[in-house]
């Protein structure tokens, strides 16, 4: 069975500071990994995905994530937080070809302080 752990249900960062959201996964097969963002009153929007190509994945809005197999991690970063980054972020894993359902972590809510 697959699982995803997001460390920290709430993260507070200052505007302009580094955003780091942690995600660790477990998977019995090579995983496909995703980060989604949910802004207030909206659906989940894909930020980026890892599908066994480059281990450093760049996404929208200046976010990127690095797949580290040895650490079973897929942490999300952004060098400089903006007020508009306030949202809830979800890490998810899929088996890909073996089954497309997503297994999500618990989510991390990001608060950006001016």
Partner 1 sequence: EAGVTQFPSHSVIEKGQTVTLRCDPISGHDNLYWYRRVMGKEIKFLLHFVKESKQDESGMPNNRFLAERTGGTYSTLKVQPAELEDSGVYFCASSQARTSGGVQETQYFGPGTRLLVL
Positions in the binding site for partner 1 (CB under 8 A) = 4, 32, 36, 41-46, 49, 51, 90, 94, 96-107
Closest to partner 1 by CB, 54 vs 98, is 98
Closest to partner 1 by CB, 45 vs 61, is 45
Per the CB < 8 A criterion, the answer to whether 32 and 24 are in contact is: no
Contacts of 70 (CB under 8 A, 6+ apart): none
Element (H, E) at 58: strand 56-58
C-beta of 91: minimal distance to partner 1 in Å?
10
Integer CA distances (angstroms), 70 to 3, 6, 46, 51, in order = 16, 17, 25, 16
Closest to partner 1 by CB, 17 vs 59, is 59
C-beta of 101: minimal distance to partner 1 in Å?
4
């Amino acid at each position: 069975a697959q699982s995803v752990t997001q460390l920290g249900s709430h993260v507070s960062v200052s505007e302009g500071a580094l955003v780091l959201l942690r995600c660790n996964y477990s998977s019995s097969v090579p995983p496909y990994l995703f980060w989604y963002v949910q802004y207030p009153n909206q659906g989940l929007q894909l930020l980026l995905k890892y599908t066994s190509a480059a281990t450093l994945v760049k996404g929208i809005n200046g976010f990127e994530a690095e797949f580290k197999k040895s650490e079973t991690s897929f942490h999300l970063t952004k060098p400089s937080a903006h007020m508009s980054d306030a949202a809830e972020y979800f890490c998810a894993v899929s088996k890909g070809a073996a089954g497309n359902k997503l297994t999500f972590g618990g989510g991390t809510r990001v608060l950006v302080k001016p």
